[in-house]
Structure 1
């Protein structure tokens, strides 16, 4: 059974009472969706039509007091799209031509009435369903246009090769200083407003999108001679069932404030880096002097107190190194590149004293990251595994099964569940030699990328670190070195 909202109200117009009754009974037997109301003249039909609730009109042509075409013209003045079927007794070319000119939906010649109920029921359902779908689409389209009109972002739809602009909202003019009419006339003319140093990068992103790859690109635009903005465009190719790109959809937004904050943060980080380098130099000098004198003293004397002093100086040096690294780990990353995860991991391995430990990369994907910062994070994960296990460990790394991140794990003693949330805190360590800053540095690098990290248990019961929220896939662009 069909729902009440799926019902179709048909108005049948004919001056013959018996034909009206046969038509109603026959049509309602064919479909439980259809309910038939009748009228015996064009004037009565028009009155019933204006009362509302009619989904389709089926009318005879020749009737006393008017014709079906005259009724059709009156209906079209109110509703140009309402399904209207002329159910005429003859196939007169004149009548058919007149009906078509007036905007009839279909023209059916009466034959044996009983044999045509199925045909008419099918036609009525098809035309009404089509019109309802079109009206729903129009309503959705109207709402989307209303939303686009008040959006701060420029919303756009281009053809697959960018040669035709299918839709753009008014925000484009505010961001680019370009009338939308100008862009419709020349779809690639927005590039004239892009900073000359950024045009090639934008064109390259457009070409990759045409090839079917989602794109996100940041660049500068000049809406006027005195104004320069930073914007971000994100593009999503729309493909058909066979994977062929049909059109480009996306948005462009103003990121000038974000870029300003990033520059300010970069300046602050540079100042912090110079400060920490100076402090580290000033602190390391007395540490090195103390270590040198301690070495001379141990040549002359043999005392456990000197051994304790040596361990303290060694720990001070480790603390200085980790504190310097932590201070340099800011909240921003350099421009992301697409690099192979395996390459970053292997590069990190070369900077770690692995001893007898072995590392295997089980799977790899290109990932969007700052490769230098990511390498530093993985170095600390590898050191953490080696230093926190008394026996030699086997390490494994690779892409997570869901493809949205990567993992580094070992087969060592693992991290107790109650401590997994604390291991990333500054200064937290469970070994005497540790400084407690290694995983803290990892966390800052992960956060700077906008990712998440979690400590859990590996298959072998060791420690496993999972980094999620990572954009994997795409084409390798950069290097981890």
Structure 2
């Protein structure tokens, strides 16, 4: 079969040479897609069919060495699906019935031959194109089933009301510990394997999917008395032209390792928070005592060493605050909501000792974020500009042309060779810096799924650009 192109090869078998010639001329004139091969006997026609790449067979009924039906049966033994059109001189019902029983594709009665060329050409093209489309679809289905068979995820398709299972691959049995035959018999029987505490949530997701909403749900499954796994299922409703939900398609995957990692991370963060609180309590007392005694001593004595000690105690307090911020917030964010960038920056300014520094908000936008953590990042960016410049600076905040915003100042700037290193823990370009401020900024930005980069402002000061933030200008 010539499936790689649009051409059609027809084998026409008839014992009348004149009819052969007329029909060949007529078909090839009607369609430039068609090439017609001819034979004058069923035996020769069968040999040609075996040797040639034939898309359709056109045959007379009455021939010297056998009938067209006998020829049809022989062809069907070789290829059960090739289009076969019987072109008979008579409309004998017995012949037609016999041909239909043998698997004829169509039965056309000879009339005025010249008037039937168009009809035959149209029928042949229709049958050949249909067979080619069916074969392509069959190959596609076979390939999809092969892919589904080796997939780690369970791929499935249900009717819109979940009452009929239309397709599922073998991965279901591995994920649920349930034979697929059970699911074909009772399509919702997979719920029997879902953890009792999660069944209602899964049912609600199924109902929402049937109502037309795509769903993603995580739940536990008891594969056996001793084995419980976490699964995630995602479902997309498929509608027909009228908007009716006809099918529900989706996949289910094992997320046990991810859930275990999340739990380990939560436990670690909880332990770290407890440790940070303990350390903070144990360190703040001696720091406060030292600070208090230093203050009393400086009231009685004017000594430069006492001033240096007081500055060291103040630096210890700064380091403690930054370390606590790193330990407690980590790389997670809380609930997000749309907030005004300018509003967050002004709130941050109220928590920063600005000294002689000034703040200019060039323009603003609405950002989807954790407001508390964005304010924390803004505070550290403001402190960074103030602490890294000996003279007063102006800090400017604005939005980027694409999604994002920037903080910049007109100070001394950051050398090109140090612009990546400034986000590392403990790295500072000044002696009095803790080296944690920009590291905290980087954590907060990363936790939101954004990116931050250090560059230079137009005034050669420091500029920090945060990109990837969803904004509404």
- Same fold, judged at TM 0.5 (above): yes
Q: Aligned residue for 2:159?
A: 159
Aligned partners of 1:424 and 1:440 also within 8 Å: yes
Residue 321 in structure 1 maps to residue 318 in structure 2: no
Aligned partners of 2:420 and 2:453 also within 8 Å: yes
Residue 36 in structure 1 maps to residue 33 in structure 2: no
Q: Aligned residue for 1:381?
A: 377
CA distance in 2, matches of 1:260, 1:3: 52
Q: Aligned residue for 2:54?
A: 54
Instruction: Measure how far apart 1:97 and its partner are.
Output: 3.7
Comparing 387-396 with 157-166, greater Cα deviation is found at 387-396
Aligned partners of 1:214 and 1:235 also within 8 Å: yes
Comparing 288-297 with 220-229, greater Cα deviation is found at 288-297
Instruction: Measure how far apart 1:221 and its partner are.
Output: 0.3
Q: Deviations over 1:108-137 (max 9, x none)?
A: 333433333333333322322221221122
Distance 1:454 1:445, change over 3 A: closer
Aligned partners of 2:239 and 2:245 also within 8 Å: yes
Distance 1:258 1:72, change over 3 A: same
Q: Deviations over 1:18-66 (max 9, x none)?
A: 2212222332233333221112122322222233521111122333333
CA distance in 2, matches of 1:236, 1:315: 56
CA distance in 2, matches of 1:215, 1:222: 22
Instruction: Measure how far apart 1:445 and its partner are.
Output: 5.2
Residue 342 in structure 1 maps to residue 345 in structure 2: no
Comparing 286-295 with 352-361, greater Cα deviation is found at 352-361
Residue 453 in structure 1 maps to residue 451 in structure 2: yes
Residue 440 in structure 1 maps to residue 434 in structure 2: no
Distance 1:165 1:348, change over 3 A: farther
CA distance in 1, matches of 2:315, 2:44: 101
Distance 1:391 1:118, change over 3 A: same
Q: Which runs of 5+ in 1 are unaligned?
A: 366-370, 473-481
Give 1:235-384 correspondences, 5 Å limit: 235-239=235-239, 245-301=245-301, 306-330=306-330, 339-342=336-339, 353=350, 362-363=365-366, 374-375=370-371, 377-384=373-380
Q: Which runs of 5+ in 2 are unaligned?
A: 353-358, 386-392
Distance 1:392 1:37, change over 3 A: same
Residue 391 in structure 1 maps to residue 394 in structure 2: yes
Q: Aligned residue for 2:404?
A: 407
CA distance in 1, matches of 2:362, 2:317: 28
Match of 1:224, SS state, is coil
Comparing 66-75 with 349-358, greater Cα deviation is found at 349-358
Instruction: Measure how far apart 1:193 and its partner are.
Output: 0.9
Aligned partners of 1:183 and 1:189 also within 8 Å: yes
Q: Aligned residue for 1:16?
A: 16
Distance 1:42 1:260, change over 3 A: same
Comparing 128-137 with 407-416, greater Cα deviation is found at 407-416
Aligned partners of 2:397 and 2:405 also within 8 Å: no
Q: Aligned residue for 1:463?
A: 464
Comparing 243-252 with 8-17, greater Cα deviation is found at 243-252
Comparing 56-65 with 306-315, greater Cα deviation is found at 306-315
Aligned residues: 452
Q: TM-score, normalised by structure 1?
A: 0.80
Q: Deviations over 1:417-446 (max 9, x none)?
A: 665533432233456765332442344456
Aligned partners of 1:216 and 1:233 also within 8 Å: yes
Higher gyration radius (CA)? 2
Q: Aligned residue for 1:478?
A: none
CA distance in 1, matches of 2:420, 2:160: 48
Q: Aligned residue for 1:83?
A: 83
- State the structure with bigger RCO (CA 8 A, min sep 6), 1 or 2: 1
